Structure 1
Amino acid sequence: MKVLIVGGGGREHAIAYCVAKSSKVEKMYCAPGNAGIAELAECVPIGAMEFDKLVTFAKEKEIDLAIVGMDDPLVGGLIDEFEKAGIRAFGPRKNAAILEGSKAFSKDLMKKYDIPTAAYENFDNADEALAYLETAKFPIVLKADGLALGKGVLICNTLEEAKAGVKEIMLDKKFGASGNTMVVEEFMTGREVSVLSFVDGKTIKTMTSAQDHKRAKDGDQGLNTGGMGTFSPSPFYTKEVDEFCRKYVYQKTVDAMAAEGREFKGIIFFGLMLTEDGPKVLEYNARFGDPEAQVVLPRMKNDLIDVIEACIDGTLDQVDLQFEDDAAVCVVLASDGYPVAYEKGLPITGLDEFKKHEGYYCFHAGTKFDGDQIVTNGGRVLGVTAKGATLKEARANAYKATEWVKFDNKYMRHDIGKAIDEA
């Protein structure tokens, strides 16, 4: 079959890596792709939000399956456009992708269907939000309702910080129209765990657990980013946590979406907080996490195409989803200054080293070709992933592999997976 992957980051590289292993796939395209994906697929210069061009391309090339990796096109309705054109596509339709596209929607859904989450209020008026904050308990969390590249969340320790946050989100529109509505949420404490799942509208199959590191600097300091590294599985995701979430979170979410007339087919990413009162849902995403995909997908035993087709066809209950009994750690190599300002176009060396070692992967996030040379083309540049028999071994391997790669202004956190040592 011919496959088109939409996106150009580390998540899409991890998807492409799995798709390339499938015996069913004869040709793969990626729009727009990156320098790493170009080794596996033919990259085409079409942006992820250029729906008409993507549909036209898919028709011309007689694409058998389109896989949409990114949140923006899913929330914008790209799956609907592919389906209208008769192209088989993987991901939630627009009316289901709202699970990620609107935090206010997802919070209301959880309240209605009794899915455990933090207490909250939604506001579309800044004055009303400010009045509410006058009586609130701190710290408190402010969230822009819509997509904000993983950065539209502010943790405010004082009323002054919260007032500044309301101004930033709702008045200054730092995150654009995403800030037209704002969620004010109770601050929860505990371990964070990410659980990705495949969904076919009625059946849900969870993947192995993972944990992301969002802050830019060591010790969870600095600004929120799209993710500076991750590890899988999480030692904090115990059998008891899994049983609780199966009973009160996972299937209930799928059933709730179906009950709302928003059948969900694709990936649901559950961001969980393991609080003293039990696991609660922090957020939903409607696609593979990035960089979670880089540690979860390399450990999957199944043919990814088989699982995706089962999701589309509603036959996921017949799939025995399996993962290797090992561990993986991903350390993101970024350009110094990310997520604010950073230089692009810096030459990268050492990438060939990964081809010499089994169990080591280098997923490209922000790269491109400059002639024959691969150069940096984003804040997050590469996701260096390594496996190991244990998390500690995988962590040591990943950090060893980061030394193979060289580029000016290379920056990374040095404590990815440090929580493993405390488990």
Structure 2
Amino acid sequence: MKVLVVGGGGREHALCWSLASSPLLTRLWCAPGNAGIAEVAECVPIGAEDVPALVRFARDNAADLVVAGPEAPLTLGLADACAAAGLRCFGPSAAAARLEGSKAFAREVCAAAGVPGPRWRRFDDPAAARAHIRAEGAPIVVKADGLAAGKGVVVAATVEEAEAAVADLMERRVHGAAGATVLVEECLAGEEVSFFALCDGTHAVPLAAAQDHKRVGEGDTGPNTGGMGAYSPPPVFTEALRDEVMARIVRPTLAEMARRGAPFRGVLFVGLMLTAEGPRLVEFNVRFGDPECQALMVRLRSDLLAALLAACDGELADFDLRWAPLHSLVVVMAARGYPGAYARGSEIRGLDRAARVPGVQVFHAGTARRADGALIAAGGRVLGVAATGATLREARDAAYAAVDAIDWPEGFCRRDIGWRAL
């Protein structure tokens, strides 16, 4: 089978790396890809949001499957355009992708489906949002309604911080039109977990869970990022909790989306807060998380391509997945200054040494090749150093041994990934 993966980050490298081992695969492309993806797939110079060009390439090259990595092409209608061209696409329609594209829509679906979550209000008027914040007090959460690359959420410790977030978002100082509407939500207390389920519109199969580290600094301090590391499985997420999440969140959501005429096919990312009252929904995403995807792929023992095809073809009712009895941990190496302004073009050395650490796989997120062949940083989050081990501590130690083998003075990482469990 011929497969086109859309995207060019660490998540897409992990997907390509896993797909490349499938006995069903005959050819693998990635658009636009990156320097690491080029080692396992043919990179195609088409942007991830150029839906017409992506569909044209897939059709002209008789691709059997298009796999959407990031959320933007899905909200722009990639799956719909593929269907119109007679192509199979792993990922939801634009109507179903609104579960991530609009936080307010997702909350409305949850209310109709009885999914447990925080108290929330939607605001189009900044003054009304500020008045509600003053009435509720802090801590409180302010969210951009639209897509903001995982950075549109402010967990405000004070009323003043929340009001500043409203101003930044609604006056379009950050994230543009995505923040024209905001949600103000109750701040839930507990541990956050990222859970993933494979969906075919009617049935859902649990994938696995991971725990992400959103803040840029050790001890979960500083601003939110796209993710500075992850590990899987989280010890706090038991089989009983998994079954409860499937029963109270995933299946009711699938049923409500089908009732609305927008059946959800693809991977549903369920952002959870494990509160004293039980698991409650923080947010939905409509694609694999990044870097959680890397932590999952190095543990997956089933054929990923077969699983994605089963989701596309409505065949998940009797499908199952096998996972290695291992722990995994991913450390993200980012360019200094991230998530603020950062420099591009610095040279990265030593990846060959890092790859020799047992159990390690280095995924590229924002890399490119210079004309002389040197590997350079080309983004904010640049590398995902993943490792597996019989215990989480073994995986952590291997990942940081690999990080220490990489020669990149202009990069940095958190040194405490996995601290909640360890």
- Matches of residues 12-411 of structure 1 in structure 2 within 5 Å? 12-371=12-371, 372-411=373-412
Asked whether the equivalents of residues 3 and 66 of structure 1 are also in contact (C-alpha less than 8 Å), the reply is yes
Whole-angstrom CA distance in 2 between matches of 1:347 and 1:153: 32
Whole-angstrom CA distance in 2 between matches of 1:11 and 1:85: 26
Secondary structure (helix, strand or coil) at the match of 2:97 reads helix
Whole-angstrom CA distance in 2 between matches of 1:116 and 1:400: 41
Asked whether the equivalents of residues 299 and 324 of structure 2 are also in contact (C-alpha less than 8 Å), the reply is yes
How far is the alpha carbon of 1:257 from its aligned partner?
1.2
Whole-angstrom CA distance in 2 between matches of 1:133 and 1:231: 34
Map Cα deviations across residues 373-420 of structure 1 (whole Å, 9 max, x no partner).
Answer: 111101111000000001111111111111121113120000000111
How far is the alpha carbon of 1:318 from its aligned partner?
2.3
RMSD: 1.2
TM-score of the aligned structures, taking structure 2 as reference length: 0.98
Asked whether the equivalents of residues 392 and 420 of structure 1 are also in contact (C-alpha less than 8 Å), the reply is no
Flag the structure with higher helix content. 1
Asked whether the equivalents of residues 30 and 44 of structure 1 are also in contact (C-alpha less than 8 Å), the reply is yes
Secondary structure (helix, strand or coil) at the match of 1:219 reads coil
* 1:132–1:356 distance in 2 versus 1, CA, 3 Å: closer
Count of residues paired in the alignment: 421
- Point out where structure 2 has 5 or more consecutive residues left out of the alignment: none
* Partner amino acid, structure 1, of 2:334: A
* Partner amino acid, structure 2, of 1:323: W
Secondary structure (helix, strand or coil) at the match of 1:256 reads helix
Whole-angstrom CA distance in 2 between matches of 1:126 and 1:410: 38
TM-score of the aligned structures, taking structure 1 as reference length: 0.97
Map Cα deviations across residues 1-33 of structure 1 (whole Å, 9 max, x no partner).
Answer: 111110000000000001100111111111000
How far is the alpha carbon of 1:306 from its aligned partner?
0.5
Secondary structure (helix, strand or coil) at the match of 1:209 reads strand
How far is the alpha carbon of 1:317 from its aligned partner?
1.5
How far is the alpha carbon of 1:330 from its aligned partner?
0.2
How far is the alpha carbon of 1:343 from its aligned partner?
1.2
* Partner amino acid, structure 2, of 1:376: A
Secondary structure (helix, strand or coil) at the match of 1:419 reads coil
How far is the alpha carbon of 1:240 from its aligned partner?
3.1
Map Cα deviations across residues 350-388 of structure 1 (whole Å, 9 max, x no partner).
Answer: 122355455210000000010211111011110000000
Asked whether the equivalents of residues 267 and 287 of structure 1 are also in contact (C-alpha less than 8 Å), the reply is yes
* Partner amino acid, structure 1, of 2:403: T
Secondary structure (helix, strand or coil) at the match of 1:341 reads coil
Map Cα deviations across residues 314-365 of structure 1 (whole Å, 9 max, x no partner).
Answer: 0011212121111000000111110101111111111223554552100000
Secondary structure (helix, strand or coil) at the match of 1:368 reads strand
**1:418 aligned onto 2:419:** yes
How far is the alpha carbon of 1:173 from its aligned partner?
4.2
Asked whether the equivalents of residues 272 and 283 of structure 2 are also in contact (C-alpha less than 8 Å), the reply is yes
Secondary structure (helix, strand or coil) at the match of 1:307 reads helix
Identity of aligned residues (%): 45
Whole-angstrom CA distance in 2 between matches of 1:58 and 1:236: 42
* Partner amino acid, structure 1, of 2:169: I
Secondary structure (helix, strand or coil) at the match of 2:328 reads strand
How far is the alpha carbon of 1:165 from its aligned partner?
1.4
Map Cα deviations across residues 105-132 of structure 1 (whole Å, 9 max, x no partner).
Answer: 1111111211000110111122221222
Whole-angstrom CA distance in 1 between matches of 2:192 and 2:146: 21
Whole-angstrom CA distance in 2 between matches of 1:343 and 1:205: 41
* Partner amino acid, structure 1, of 2:359: G
Higher mean Cα deviation, 194-203 or 49-58? 49-58
Whole-angstrom CA distance in 1 between matches of 2:204 and 2:190: 26
Whole-angstrom CA distance in 2 between matches of 1:419 and 1:174: 31
Whole-angstrom CA distance in 2 between matches of 1:245 and 1:409: 41
